[in-house]
Amino acid sequence: MSKQPEHGLLTTGRYVPRLRLERSEIFAQHRWMAPGLKSRARGQRSMANWDEDAVTMALEAVRGSGGSVEDASGLTLASTSLPFAERINAGIVASALGLPAAAQVRDVTSSARAATTELLSALTLPQPGVGPCWVAAAERRAHRPASVLEMISGDGAAAVSVGWGAPIATLVGAHTVHADFVDHFRESGQRYDYGWEERWVREEGYLKIGAGAIRDTLKRHGVEAADVDHFVMPAVLARVNDAVAKRVGIRPEAVAPTLADDVGDLGCAQPLAMLDEVMRRAAPGALIVLTAFGGGCDVLLLRRTEVPCPGSVPGAGKPETSYLKYLSFTGQLDLEWGMRAEMDNKTALTAAWRDHDRVARFMGGRCRHCGTVQFPSLRVCVNPDCNQQDSQDPVSLAQAPARVLSHTSDFLAYTPHPPFQFGHIDFDGGGRVLMEFTDTDQDELKPGLAVRMVYRIKEYDSKRGFRRYFWKATPVRAAAA
Per-residue pLDDT tens over the stretch 333-391: 999 998 888 888 888 899 899 999 999 999 999 999 999 999 999 999 999 999 999 99
- The pLDDT score that the predictor gives to residue 339 is 86
Which tens digits make up the pLDDT trace of 46-86? 999 999 999 999 999 999 999 999 999 999 999 999 999 99
- According to the 3-state scheme, what is the secondary structure of the chain? CCCCCEEEEEEEEEECCCEEEEHHHHHHHHCCCCHHHHHHCCCEEEECCCCCCHHHHHHHHHHHCCCCCCCCCEEEEECCCCCCCCCCHHHHHHHHHCCCCCCEEEEECCCCCHHHHHHHHHHHCCCCCCCCEEEEEEECCCCCCCCHHHHHECCEEEEEEEEEECCCEEEEEEEEEECCCCCEECCCCCCCCEECCHHHHHHHHHHHHHHHHHHHHHHHCCCCHHHCCEEECCCCCCCHHHHHHHHHCCCHHHECCCCCCCCCECHHHHHHHHHHHHHCCCCCCCEEEEEEECCEEEEEEEEECCCCCCCCCCCCCEEECCHHHHHHHCCCCCCCCCHHHCCCCCCCHHHHHHCHHHHHCCEEEEECCCCCEECCCCCECCCCCCCCECCEEEEECCCCCEEECCCEEECCCCCCCCCEEEEEEEECCCCEEEEEECCCCCCCCCCCCEEEEEEEEEEEECCCCEEEEEEEEEECCCCCC
Sequence ranges of the domains in the chain: 7-329, 339-362+397-475
What pLDDT is recorded for position 127? 82
Domain 7-329 fold is Peroxisomal Thiolase; Chain A, domain 1 (3.40.47)
The pLDDT > 90 percentage for the chain reads 90
Percent of the chain with pLDDT over 70: 99
Identify the CATH number of the domain defined by range 339-362+397-475.
2.40.50
pLDDT above 60 for 480? no
- State the pTM of this model: 0.96
Each residue of 279-306: pLDDT tens digit?
999 999 999 999 999 999 999 999 999 9
